[in-house]
Amino acid sequence: MRMSEEDYAKLTELRQIASKPSKGIRGRGRTVKRVSGEMNGTESAYAIHLDILKDRREILDYWFERFTFKLADGCRYTPDFVVQMADGIIEVHEVKGHWEDDALVKIKVAAELFPFRFLAVQKIAQKAGGGWSVREF
């Protein structure tokens, strides 16, 4: 499949965003704490992917960290992206570079409680061909 000039420009923008250092708050050691409402490099790359799908009219729109689901008393889940597909169906996309057990438990519980399609999205390394792997719950 050939890439359009517009898609190539977005891919170039994605590479520039992904190469910038995180804007998180530096904690102890080398860990960077997550700043709510700001995308990390993987989420930024996925947002560009969603923009391409939106330009192609494969999706209608998407929202970043705009919705929070109550899973139980004192337990909430805010997915990375809520995506409205071209047919109007709503999907929930959780983007991770690496999956931790607590994140997997939350997305599985949310998938059981709510009538949406929940997808775990993980970036595939460029040396492995690039793109995104998707797992549905």
Q: What is the CATH number of the domain that holds 110?
A: 3.40.1350
Q: How many domains does the chain have?
A: 1
pTM: 0.74
134 vs 123: CA distance, rounded Å: 9
What is the tens place of the pLDDT at every residue in 56-88? 999 999 999 999 999 999 999 999 999 999 999
* Domain assignment of residue 12, given as a range: 5-136
Q: How many helices and strands in the chain, by DSSP H and E?
A: 3, 9
